[in-house]
Amino acid sequence: MIIQIIGVSGCGKSTIARKLSENLGIPYFDADDFHPKANIDKMSSGQPLNDADRAPWLAILSNNLKQWEKEGGAILACSALKERYRKVLSEGLDTCTWIFLEGSYELILERMQKRKGHYMGEKMLRSQFKALEVPDYGIHIDIQMSPEEIVAKIKSSL
């Protein structure tokens, strides 16, 4: 089983993926951990990534997802903002469940302003919302709920 938790930066992907992993006993991975250093440097300087920057990162994630599926499954927290990225991330998988964490720009900006030590700055949030192509499939979750409520809703929807 592969579960991909997606949404803009600051929506709670990592928190929810970690808690869901603990609940389901499935390994959790954060897509940010697989970015090449050049991508992290670019984002840290306030520049959004372009598709050319993302291509090698998506290829790494796609290969890992296939391996993780063979090993029994995984939960991946990944922005996957565009449909073409999601196609790369699900290509060759037998099963893939998409969980889209959605919330308003204002709520997510408020949360981002409270975060410390993350390379994705709040000034890039607007570009994330602009790039976002909301999927018309998967499980859509309103992030106004508590993390525990979100995990319970995901589990009941699986």
* Sequence-ordered list of residues with C-beta below 8 angstroms from that of 134, at least 6 positions apart, any chain: 100, 102
pLDDT digits (tens, 9 = 90+) for 35-81: 989 998 887 787 878 899 999 999 999 999 999 999 999 999 999 99
Structural domain harbouring 98: 2-157
CATH code for position 15 = 3.40.50.300
Mean pLDDT of the chain: 92
Q: How much is the pLDDT for 121?
A: 56
Least confident of 20-29, 73-82, 118-127, 148-157: 118-127
* 99-124 average pLDDT score: 79
Torsion of CA 65, 125, 35, 101, to 10 degrees: -20
Query: How many domains would you assign to the chain?
Result: 1
56's tokens: 């090698």
Which pLDDT score is estimated for 62?
98
Q: Which two tokens stand for residue 5?
A: 């938790």
Q: What is the pLDDT of residue 117?
A: 60
pLDDT at 43: 79
Does this model's pTM top 0.85? My answer is yes
- More confident: 125 or 69: 69
Tell me the pLDDT band of 114, cut-offs 50, 70 and 90.
Answer: confident
Please say whether the beta carbons of 7 and 24 come within 8 A.
Answer: no
Query: Please, what is the angle between helix 51-70 and helix 83-90, to 10°?
Result: 30
Query: What pLDDT, on the 0 to 100 scale, is given for residue 120?
Result: 53
CA–CA separation, 48 and 33 (whole Å): 17
